[in-house]
Amino acid sequence: MPAPSPVRPFGALLTAMVTPMTDDGALDLEAAERLAVELVDAGHDGLVLNGTTGEAPTTSDREKADLVRVVVRALGGRALVLAGAGSNDTRHAVAMARHAAEAGADGLLAVTPYYSRPSQDGVVAHLSAVADAGDLPVMLYDVPARTGLRLSADSLRRLAEHPRITAIKDATQDPAAAFRLIHETGMAWYCGDDDLLLPYLSVGAVGLVSMAGHLVGEELARVIALAEAGEPEQAREVFRSVLPVIDLISGSGNGALRSKLALTLTGRIPGPAMRLPQLPAGEDETAAVGAALAAALGTP
Query: Per the residue annotation, which of 64, 115, 169, 190 is the catalytic one?
Result: 169
Q: What are phi and psi of 44, to 5 degrees?
A: -75, 140
Distance of CA 281 to the CA centre of its chain: 22
Contact 93, 150 (CB under 8 A): no
Give the residue among 193, 127, 136, 201 at the shortest CA–CA distance from 160: 127
Pairing of strands 46-49, 165-170: unpaired
Out of 64, 114, 115, 141, pick the active-site residue.
141
CA distance 215 to 101: 28
The strand pairing partners of 88, in sequence order, are none
Q: Quick one: DSSP state of residue 279? A: P
Among this protein's residues, is 169 annotated catalytic?
A: yes
Distance CA 251, CA 248 (A): 5
By CB neighbour count within 10 A (0-12 exposed, 13-18 middle, 19+ buried), where does 114 fall?
Answer: middle
Whether cis (ω within 30° of 0) applies to the bond prior to 2 is no
Catalytic residue status for 190? no
Rounded-to-integer distance, Cα 81 and Cα 290, Å: 30
**Separation of alpha carbons 110 and 153, rounded Å:** 17
Give the catalytic positions in this structure: 141, 169
